[in-house]
Amino acid sequence: MGTTETFCKKVFGSDASGTKLTISAWFKISDSMANNRRGERYIITSTDAATATSTLGYEIYHNTNSRKTRFYWSETGMYFFPGDTSVGMQMDASGWYHVVLKRDSTQGTDTERLKMYINGVSVGQLNNISTWPAQDSTTQFFKSGTNASNNSASAGNYIHNVNAYYSGYSTTYGMEGGYIADLHVCNGYAYDASSFGSFDANGIWTANSSPSVSYGTNGWRMKFNETGASADANGFGADSSGNGNHFATDNLGTNPSVTDTPDNNFATMNPNSIFPSTVPIIRDGNLQSKSESTSGAAFCSTIGVQAGKWYVEAKIGSSATLEVGAVDIGTEAFVKSGTATNSVGYDYGGNIRVNNSNVQTSLATYTGGDIIGICLDMDTATGTVTFYKNGSIVGSAQNFTTRKPLFAAFYMQSHTSGGSQFVDWNFGNPTFTISSSNSDANGYGSFEYAVLSGHYALCTKNLATYG
Amino acid sequence: MSEVKVNTIKKYTGSTITIGESGDTITITAGATLSGSGASLTALNATQLGSGTVPDARFPATLPAVSGANLTNLPAETKPTISSILPTVIENTAADVVITGTNFISVPYVDAISSTGAITPANSVTFTSATSITANFTLPVDGSYYIRVENNDGNAVRSSSALLTVSDAPAWTTGAGSLGTIAGNFSGTVATVAATGDTVVYSETTSVLTNAGQANCTLNSSTGVITTSDFGGSGTSATTYSFTLRATDAQGQTSDRNFTLTSVYDIASAGRFDNP
């Protein structure tokens, strides 16, 4: 927390709060396991700061032996945690989670007044709840306000935020670069998870993108398919429920509307698989990997592959003494020793390296702003990596030499003497502006340079076919 | 008149002997025999046979053709006729067939005669008029049948062709209801429907499945395969398409069945909450 983040904001002109509320959304959380990232993440909030706050968020907590993430619901005077149940814990930043919070304070039995579902499964009788909502109590959502500015939080001025929480007279941000998809906030209606998804033939919880739900007067739905900052139908915070409850957006990043969705999950960098584990930072939707010390650090992608041909672009940060490439993550070797065990990389000095040793030298060097294309071919006998600098091939295709990787992932490794280094990764949803948009042969991804023939963006739709 | 008795009259000259003159009567005395070869009677005019009987032996084995118009005073005989039937195709279960024709007399016998010669009488016959009767048949064997109508005076007619076809209507083997849930914008084979019958042809009676503004599919009339290049067309939200398909066999028999297809759409976008 503490860094500026994209967030949406709105006040309603009239009070429509009531006893019932449903929030449904898909989340791809970020930055969950780094030791210095503990705390609460405020995702969907309503607060007047002075007297009342209600939040759907998640909490990262850990001690030496246990680091966990869990969604929660809070209202003034109570917290509602899923607890340490198998469905209550979310540790994986590589996947999407569906969360439904159902509130119905008309229920006579207090335990029926709040329900939370994670990927379609009710977390059931929860622990860590301080008290249940009083019967027929009203939610703090959907109440009216007059000013959505973050310095206006005061009694009676209810500000609704997505990915933020107005704490007093300042903004506390949300997910530190996470993702939200298909957000439904229903005013006056209490729905189960089954209204928003179903289990497929393989037992996988899948989204229903056209649920038959009502939104009430102050409810809204966000598809995040627009990119504007204004509170209108062209805005990032546009309401597609038909209510016209559009949210304004502050701190918009580049290309904030992405095709990384629950139905086609793209690779990102993995905050749970970094070396060393205590220093590096992953941000901007887990697409910027950054080393903030002189000790060096290594990061790898959330998805590793055993077969297929894959393409990714790495835009080098302004200070570049690092290397990028592909590494075997089939064992714990990466998180214990970085890329030394079984990797093929290309470093800033113009060297192609195998297991951290130069094997092709005096090639093109690169620096901040250059875009390195990495083509990973796992259909060869050993696994092969080919590098491109700004669209031009560098050296020649290089085999893995230790063995064919069990799972090959993309990586960045900063050199020990390099200080703060970073790469903005483009697995198909760039965080940086590109001058052209090239998709793979299946139409997935948006890349600066043409995707090498036969290669594909690293996403689950393609994995299902080629991986 | 003098009487001349001779035993032989021979020509005096040439090759012709003339007896009498025009207007004369030449009499051969009763009991006398006029003998000799008939082949020589070359100019004998039968109209001059004013009386008497021509013996049967004098007729040839095959009589010469005689115009029916010249056969007068024959006994009166009115036969029924068949011009058409409706329907022309029935199933094996009991079914009414209306026979249109002429000269029907209440109440005729009606038979269905198969191409093998098997005769199946009608279950019942209802006389409507001299030009219309209704026969109820139960014909358990598929095939083509002639229709025979016999009036109760014995006059009868059999249709000149096999007017009646007995055939099973198409039977759907694909169950009614949902044919599946298909991703919106999907391209490829959506489903296949099937019915048994004689050269079944598939069609849609509604305008949903093959409507470009709705499900936007193509139905192969021969195979029942449903394909699309863009399921749901321009639709963007989940929709259940309800439609009726018809199976028609070679005899024109039809069978309808109601189906549904449902479109689903992926979540196409998400919001990335960067740290700009």
Nearest Cα of chain B lies from the Cα of A395 at a distance, in angstroms, of 35
Q: Is A31 on the interface with B (CB under 8 A)?
A: no
- Residue in chain B closest to A225 (alpha carbons) equals B269
Distance of alpha carbon B142 from alpha carbon B98, whole angstroms: 19
pLDDT at B38: 55
Query: In this predicted structure, which of A9-23, A318-332, B73-87 has the lowest mean pLDDT?
Result: A318-332
> Closest Cα of chain A to B245: distance in Å?
27
A176 interfacial to chain B (CB closer than 8 Å): yes
Nearest CA in chain B to A178: B273
Q: What pLDDT does residue A1 have?
A: 40
How many other CB atoms are there within 10 angstroms of residue A182's CB atom? 27
Q: pLDDT, tens digit, for every residue of B255-274?
A: 999 999 999 899 999 999 98
Is A258 in contact with B276 (Cβ distance < 8 A)? no
Confidence band for A2, pLDDT divided at 50, 70 and 90: very low
Q: How confident is the model at residue B68 (pLDDT cuts 50, 70, 90)?
A: confident
Q: Does A380 contact chain B (CB < 8 Å)?
A: no
Q: What is the ipTM of this complex?
A: 0.93
Q: Where are the beta strands (DSSP E) in B42-200?
A: 81-86, 89-90, 95-102, 109-114, 119-121, 124-129, 132-137, 143-150, 156-158, 164-166, 171-172, 177-183, 188-192, 195-196
- From residue A227, give the alpha-carbon distance in Å to each of A71, A221, A253, B231, B233: 27, 16, 9, 28, 26
Q: Could B276 and A7 be called an inter-chain contact, meaning their C-beta atoms sit closer than 8 Å?
A: no
Helix, strand, coil tally for chain B in percent (to 5): 5, 35, 60
* pLDDT digits 0-9 by tens, A149-196: 877 768 889 999 999 888 766 677 777 788 999 999 999 999 999 999
Q: What is the mean pLDDT of residues B31-38?
A: 68
pLDDT tens-digit readout, A437-466 = 899 999 999 999 999 999 999 999 999 999
| Lowest-confidence pick of A5-19, A115-129, A405-419, B102-116 | A115-129
A324: Cβ contacts below 8 Å, ≥ 6 apart: A314, A345, A346, A372, A374, A410, A411, A412, A413, A423
Lowest mean pLDDT among A53-62, A233-242, A317-326, A362-371: A53-62
Q: Would the pLDDT of B17 be above 60?
A: yes
- Is there a contact between A208 and B238 if contact means CB atoms under 8 Å apart? yes
> What confidence category does residue B101 fall into, taking pLDDT thresholds of 50, 70 and 90?
very high
Residue of higher predicted confidence among A416 and A391: A391
Does A35 have pLDDT greater than 60? no
For an interface test with A, give the residue of B187, B262, B272 to mutate (most A CBs within 10 A).
B272
What value does the mean pLDDT take over residues B171-187? 93
Whole-model pTM: value is 0.76
CB A39, CB A54: distance < 8 Å: no
How many whole angstroms separate alpha carbon B220 and alpha carbon B198? 17
pLDDT (0 to 100) of residue A128: 59
DSSP, res A442: T
Confidence (pLDDT) at B206: 97
- Average pLDDT, integer, range B65-89: 86
Q: Parallel, antiparallel, or unpaired: how do β-strands A456-457 and A309-316 relate?
A: parallel
Q: Report pLDDT for A25.
A: 97
Confidence label for A31 from pLDDT (cuts 50, 70 and 90): low
Q: Mean pLDDT lowest for which of A29-43, B206-220, B254-268?
A: A29-43
Q: What is the pLDDT of residue B16?
A: 80
